[in-house]
Amino acid sequence: QVQLVESGGGLVQPGGTLRLSCRVSGFTLNSYVIAWFRQRPGKEREGISCLSNYDGSRYVVNSVKGRFTISRESAKNTVYLQMNYLEPEDTAVYYCAAGRYEGTVDRSPYEHEYNYWGQGTQVTVSS
C-alpha cells in the first residue's frame, strides 16, 4: 500500500526554521519524483519544489529559492524540505506528493502529474 506521511510542521516565529519530512512506503523512490506543494489560506495549492530520485535533479520555485531546500535520504525513503528564514506568507498546509517519472526535473511541479499524496502538515509562521 502506497503511503506518504508528512511531519515536521508547527508554529514558528518569523525568521525561524522548520524541516518537513515526507516518508514514503509501499514503493521505492528510484523511479519517482517527490514534490512539495502548499496551500496558503484562501489560495489554490501551488507546487514549490520537486526532486527526481532518478537522477537527483531538483527544482525550487523563485518565491522560496534561497530559503527552502529539498533533499532526500534514500536509506530512509524520505524526502525533506528544509525551510529557513520563514515569513508569515509561508503559512500554509504543506503536502508532499509522488509521481512516477524517470527523468530530470527543471520546472515547478503540477498537481495532475502526481498520483500519490500525503495528508498535509500545517506550518504557521507568526509572532
pLDDT in tens, 25-76: 998 888 899 999 999 999 999 999 999 999 999 999 999 999 999 999 989 9
- Residue 78 in contact with residue 99, Cβ under 8 Å? no
Q: What is the mean pLDDT of residues 120-125?
A: 98
Tell me how far apart the alpha carbons of residues 102 and 87 are, in angstroms, rounded to a whole number. Answer: 34
Tell me how far apart the alpha carbons of residues 7 and 20 are, in angstroms, rounded to a whole number. Answer: 6
Residue 92 pLDDT grade (very low, low, confident, very high; cuts 50, 70, 90): very high
Residue 72: predicted pLDDT:
95
* Averaged pLDDT of the chain: 96
- Residue 14 in contact with residue 34, Cβ under 8 Å? no
- Residue 62 in contact with residue 73, Cβ under 8 Å? no
CB atoms within 10 A of CB 84: 14
**Nearby residues of 27 by Cβ (< 8 Å), 6 or more positions away:** 2, 98
Residue 99: predicted pLDDT:
95
Residue 50: predicted pLDDT:
98
- How would you classify residue 121: left for phi > 0, otherwise alpha for psi between -120 and 50, otherwise beta? beta
Tell me how far apart the alpha carbons of residues 39 and 58 are, in angstroms, rounded to a whole number. Answer: 21
Residue 100: predicted pLDDT:
93
- Answer whether residue 1 shows pLDDT above 90: no
Q: What is the mean pLDDT of residues 103-113?
A: 94
Residue 29: predicted pLDDT:
82
